[in-house]
Amino acid sequence: MGKIKGGQLSGVAGNMVFYNYNDTEYFRMVPAKRSKNSWSERQILNRQRFSALAAFWVQFRFTQIKLIWQATANGKAANCLFLSANSSAFGPDGALVDPERLHFSAGQLPQAHKLTANRVSGDPEKVEIMWQYDSRRGIAHPDDELMMMVSNDGKFLGPLKTGVIRKQVSAVIQLPAVTGTIQGIYLFFGSEKRKLYSGDIYFGI
């Protein structure tokens, strides 16, 4: 049933829905009810895929990942930007099929040039990371911190602060203790003070 409040009509009246947004009144048709059997196979898969993407985002809603994407979104919806950036990593049925296409960071900071990451020979619980730093590259600062996400058996940990800064150009980092096997890491640079971050790069290790 529709109602009038403060001179504005809102709610359902017949087959129309009336609502107000930003001091403007709108109306639309009431969506038709659909039975589960009316969905096509493609529509069902699309719903499954979107649900999987949304669930993937939800696990990071109380972490720094959300803050990174809010800083990157520049007034837009951070979750929409995150879903768009990561949709290609998921298959038609919503299964995660390509972890290398996942992204946990994005932004204006430039990524390190010629970044590499490899397990240390003789000590596989450590990773040697190397890159090049050009102090003339735009907004990159020598004290931007290297940050890391860890992928292990379909789980994701981080972002982890390494304590390593851009001007060091190399570092050996201890991998965190996790249950299972670490298959890869995602590396990016961040400046919490400036609220700026770079895109991340995946390394299978």
Could you read off the pLDDT of 9-42 as tens digits, one per residue? 566 666 666 666 556 666 676 665 655 666 677 7
Average the pLDDT over 115-138 and give the result. 92
Closest by CA to 145, choosing from 171, 164, 126, is: 164
For residues 147 and 181, membership in a common domain is answered with yes
Average the pLDDT over 111-123 and give the result. 94
Overall pTM surpassing 0.85 (yes/no): no
Average the pLDDT over 102-122 and give the result. 95
Strands 16-21, 24-29: pairing kind: antiparallel
Q: Is 106 a member of any domain? A: no
Q: Is 163 a member of any domain? A: yes
For residues 80 and 141, membership in a common domain is answered with no
At residue 177, the pLDDT reads 93
For residues 177 and 146, membership in a common domain is answered with yes
Residue 1 has pLDDT above 50, yes or no: no
Residue 128 has pLDDT above 80, yes or no: yes
For residues 62 and 5, membership in a common domain is answered with no
Domain assignment of residue 25, given as a range: 1-33
Q: Is 108 a member of any domain? A: no
Q: Is 104 a member of any domain? A: no
For residues 118 and 200, membership in a common domain is answered with yes
Average the pLDDT over 140-150 and give the result. 96
For residues 194 and 138, membership in a common domain is answered with yes
How far apart are alpha carbons 60 and 118 in whole angstroms?
27
Domain boundary, last residue among 48, 72, 98: 98
- The predicted-structure confidence for 41-51, as pLDDT tens digits, reads as follows 777 777 888 89
Name the CA radius of gyration of the chain, rounded.
23
For residues 81 and 123, membership in a common domain is answered with no
- The predicted-structure confidence for 157-182, as pLDDT tens digits, reads as follows 999 999 999 999 999 999 999 988 99
Q: Is 72 a member of any domain? A: yes
For residues 158 and 90, membership in a common domain is answered with no
Closest by CA to 112, choosing from 159, 136, 146, is: 146
For residues 5 and 82, membership in a common domain is answered with no
How many domains does one find in the chain?
3
At residue 189, the pLDDT reads 97
Q: What are phi and psi of 107, to 5 degrees?
A: 155, -165
How far apart are alpha carbons 50 and 83 in whole angstroms?
9
Residue 149 has pLDDT above 50, yes or no: yes
For residues 53 and 79, membership in a common domain is answered with yes
For residues 69 and 128, membership in a common domain is answered with no
Query: What is the SS3 assignment for the chain?
Result: CCEEECCEEEEEECCEEEEEECCEEEEEECCCCCCHHHCCHHHHHHHHHHHHHHHHHHCCCCCHHHHHHHHHHCCCCHHHHHHHHHHHHECCCCCECCHHHCCCCCCCECCCEEEEEEEECCEEEEEEEEEECCCCCCCCCCCCEEEEEEEECCEEEEEEEEEEEHHHCEEEEECCCCCCCEEEEEEEEEECCCCEEECCEEEEC
Q: Is 103 a member of any domain? A: no
Q: Is 22 a member of any domain? A: yes
- The predicted-structure confidence for 56-90, as pLDDT tens digits, reads as follows 999 998 999 999 999 998 878 899 999 999 999 99
Q: Is 159 a member of any domain? A: yes
